Amino acid sequence: MTHVEAAARAEFLRTELHRHNRLYYVEGKPVISDKEFDMLLRELQDIEAQSPDLLTDDSPTQRVGGAPIEGFTQIKHSVPMMSLDNTYSEEELTAFFTRLQKGLGREKIDCVIEPKVDGVAITIRYENGVLKHGATRGDGQTGDEVTNNLKTIQRLPLRLPKDGPQTFEVRGEVFMPKAVFNKLNKEREEAGEQLFANPRNTTTGALKQLDSKITAKRNLDIVFYGLADATDIDVQSQADMYALLDHTCLRKADLIWRADSAEGLLTAIRELDEKRRSLPYETDGAVIKVNAFADQRELGVTSKAPRWAIAYKYQPEQAETKLIAVDIQVGRTGALTPVARLEPVLVSGSTVSNATLHNYEEIERKDIRVGDIVIIEKAGEIIPAVVSVKKELRSGDEVPLSPPTHCPICGTGVHRDEEQVVIRCPNPHCPEVVKRRIEHFVSRGAMDISGLGESVVAQLVEIKLVRDVADLYALNELLLARLERVGTKSIDNYLKAVEASKQQDPWRLVFGLGILHVGAGGARKLLEHFGSIDAIAAACIEDLTQCPDIGAIVAPSVNGWFHDEENIALLNCLRTAGLNFAQKVIEAASNKLAGTTWVITGTLSEDRETIADTIRANGGKVSSGVSGKTTYLLAGEDAGSKLDKATKLGVKTLIEPEFRAMLA
């Protein structure tokens, strides 16, 4: 076969395979057998192997990626991926519709209602009819490019029909079908492996795989709900968009309602609640949107959400089960947390076998006993919690729970804090405390050392390779080779991450050390005020209280930590290892923000510390809390209570583009 003949044959095979994929996955009407499909695919693979220049990005052979990539690149969204305001109340949903009526000045407002798929938000761009890239929501402005992983979704077209639009960007939700999730967990249970918590988290993990072959095994699916960029397409409403999705073989929601009154909206969400359990994906609510795009534009958006849409969340599902035992988890600060072990029960689409009991004061208040029949729910559909006890079903054999007197791991006598709520193991060498402390130290919010999951940390502590965080910097290839199921590639990546962590800002080190009562914000304040870790260590309690946000509880904790002999030795080891102890000096860029005080909240295009540095470099000050002295609130996605407080106090709120414009 000549090269010209090979090119023609490859084009024919690609077209045929795309057609058969659409017939099988979209229309459900296959016309050839799996074996015949595989033969066509194998022929195309052979041609591409012999002539690599004939390999195209949209080739069906690229459904599953090749070798793992080193990491994900970032893609800036053409249109921000905003979140939705939400409500659990029918009264608030009615109030939302009233706001629409006032905003548009008419009584009837055409709306669409569809299921809120409990998955991972995705944006996908097609150019010239071919899938160009796909990305996660990320911070709303920028997301991770996960194109190779998205290509493993068989329902997702790599090429659009030629008689439809060729260039546009569409938003959707990637999910793991309930049947796939249940089958996956059954296989893991039979293999003695830990079960996945729920389909959404499992989907997130699958999309984060660097090797798309692993993602392909998860059999993900996708549903689309919106357009981001359709400038050259005549689409004037959500209804038009649904028609466009049908024409381009992009899956839309299985159930869609139309309503033009508050009563109609309530009827739709009630009907959806009755039918949603029959859907192939998990749902946690309904999404209500104004249909006409012209109306959407007139209503506009806030700093974090469109005014023309809302998510109605269904009340968390509850279940009844038996509490069969209570275990005690030991945290990085030594805190002992009781955890209920339950007879497995299905709640919100996943099997629950344990739930948090918070603390022993909570146990006493609710009078929870081993053997009780309890009501549990998933708070926010994620964290199982014991809501109440059915005391009327007690037989008399239930066993009351008493607070522990000794640590269940190391046997050290426990210590109660001043509020008599938290019970702690005071032994800093308790193996469980050491594990949790190291996990915190290497976490993304602290020193950001990748490659050290719970299982690896557990091995390091159990075989005594690591006794404290300083030992992480003494590890080498020979020592790490002693670990089970850790390959040379992982070892190399870990050592690189450790070396890179030495240049982290010192506030991250202070936070990573796990000083009681010192969070990330407090660590940042300490370094801003004192300039170096050595200066913090030399400060007395009175000096520490002069630092903003460091009060009468935090100051003694910090002072005590830095005067402990073992901690002094630990710091010396970290200094010898080459970690950064001095805060970087922020070079002045301008005085454009001189005289202003800022509070930063929500998710922005950069982390808050970087944006705070930008504000300081331009003459402004940064505060952690909103007050009458605050000049501006810089609000990103999911701004929360600070945005509410700023509104009440009349503090001017800016979104990130407005902030950037001030500096331009």
- Tell whether the model's pLDDT for residue 381 goes beyond 70: no
Q: Supply the pLDDT for residue 69.
A: 42
pLDDT band at 71 (very low <50, low <70, confident <90, very high): low
Answer yes or no: CATH 1.10.10.10 is held by domain 3-62: no
Closest alpha carbon to 135 in 77, 56, 221, 82: 77
pLDDT band at 224 (very low <50, low <70, confident <90, very high): very high
Residue 293 to residue 217: CA distance in whole angstroms: 38
Mean pLDDT value of segment 518-539: 90
The boundaries of every CATH 2.40.50.140 domain in the chain are: 318-400
By the 8 A CB rule, do 345 and 351 touch?
yes
Closest alpha carbon to 535 in 510, 498, 500, 513: 510
The boundaries of every CATH 1.10.287.610 domain in the chain are: 3-62
Per-residue pLDDT of 81-95, as tens digits, reads: 888 888 888 999 999
Distances (CA, A) of 113 to 278, 285, 390: 17, 10, 38
Fold of 597-663: Rossmann fold (3.40.50)
pLDDT band at 516 (very low <50, low <70, confident <90, very high): confident
The boundaries of every CATH 3.40.50.10190 domain in the chain are: 597-663
Enumerate long-range contacts of 141-145, CB under 8 Å, 24 or more apart: 141/76, 141/77, 141/80, 141/604, 141/605, 141/656, 142/74, 142/75, 142/76, 142/77, 142/605, 143/74, 143/75, 143/77, 143/81, 144/72, 144/73, 144/74, 144/75, 144/208, 145/72, 145/73, 145/74, 145/75
- Tell whether the model's pLDDT for residue 584 goes beyond 80: no
Per-residue pLDDT of 283-338, as tens digits, reads: 989 999 999 999 999 999 876 689 999 999 887 778 899 999 999 999 888 889 89
- Tell whether the model's pLDDT for residue 257 goes beyond 90: yes
Q: Supply the pLDDT for residue 125.
A: 94
The boundaries of every CATH 1.10.150.20 domain in the chain are: 431-501, 506-577
CATH class of 506-577: mainly alpha
Residue type, 224: F
* Cα distance between the two ends of the chain: 60
pLDDT band at 24 (very low <50, low <70, confident <90, very high): low
> pTM to 2 decimals?
0.53
Q: Work out the percent of the chain whose per-residue pLDDT is above 70.
A: 92
- Tell whether the model's pLDDT for residue 418 goes beyond 70: no
Q: Supply the pLDDT for residue 361.
A: 84
Residue 215 to residue 152: CA distance in whole angstroms: 7
- What's the CATH superfamily of 431-501? 5' to 3' exonuclease, C-terminal subdomain (1.10.150.20)
Q: Supply the pLDDT for residue 66.
A: 41
Q: Give the three-state DSSP class for 165.
A: coil
- What's the CATH superfamily of 318-400? Nucleic acid-binding proteins (2.40.50.140)
- Tell whether the model's pLDDT for residue 67 goes beyond 70: no
CATH class of 86-313: alpha beta
Enumerate long-range contacts of 624-632, CB under 8 Å, 24 or more apart: 624/521, 624/525, 624/548, 624/549, 624/599, 625/599, 626/599, 626/651, 629/597, 630/597, 630/598, 630/599, 631/595, 631/596, 631/597, 631/598, 632/596, 632/597, 632/598, 632/599, 632/659
> What are residue 570's phi and psi, to 5 degrees?
-60, -45
pLDDT band at 37 (very low <50, low <70, confident <90, very high): confident
Q: Give the three-state DSSP class for 121.
A: strand
pLDDT band at 384 (very low <50, low <70, confident <90, very high): confident
What's CA 133's distance to the chain center, in Å? 21
Distances (CA, A) of 152 to 207, 208, 587: 10, 13, 47
Residue 221 to residue 177: CA distance in whole angstroms: 7
Mean pLDDT value of segment 371-389: 78
Closest alpha carbon to 131 in 163, 169, 96: 169
**Kind plus residue range of the DSSP H or E element containing 297:** helix 293-299
Which residues, 6 or more positions from 267, have their beta carbon under 8 angstroms from its beta carbon? 259
The mean-pLDDT minimum among 57-66, 449-458, 499-508 falls in 57-66
Q: What is the DSSP letter of 602?
A: S
pLDDT band at 348 (very low <50, low <70, confident <90, very high): low
Q: Supply the pLDDT for residue 343.
A: 93
Q: Supply the pLDDT for residue 217.
A: 86
Per-residue pLDDT of 91-135, as tens digits, reads: 999 999 999 999 999 999 999 999 999 899 999 999 998 999 999
> What are residue 152's phi and psi, to 5 degrees?
-80, -10
Q: Supply the pLDDT for residue 638.
A: 64
Closest alpha carbon to 546 in 526, 563, 560: 526
Residue 185 to residue 275: CA distance in whole angstroms: 25
Q: Supply the pLDDT for residue 267.
A: 97
| Catalytic residue of the set 76, 116, 186, 642 | 116
pLDDT band at 29 (very low <50, low <70, confident <90, very high): low
Annotated catalytic, 116? yes
b vs e for 622-651, b when ≥16 Cβ sit within 10 Å of the residue's Cβ? bbeebeeebebbbbbbebeebbebbeeeeb
Tokens linked to 392: 């009327």
Mean pLDDT value of segment 597-601: 90
Q: Supply the pLDDT for residue 137.
A: 86
Work out the mean pLDDT of the chain and round it to a whole number.
Answer: 87
Alpha helices by DSSP H, 300-392: 360-366
The boundaries of every CATH 3.30.470.30 domain in the chain are: 86-313
Q: Supply the pLDDT for residue 68.
A: 41
Q: Which residues pair with 400 in a beta bridge?
A: 369
Residue 364 to residue 369: CA distance in whole angstroms: 9
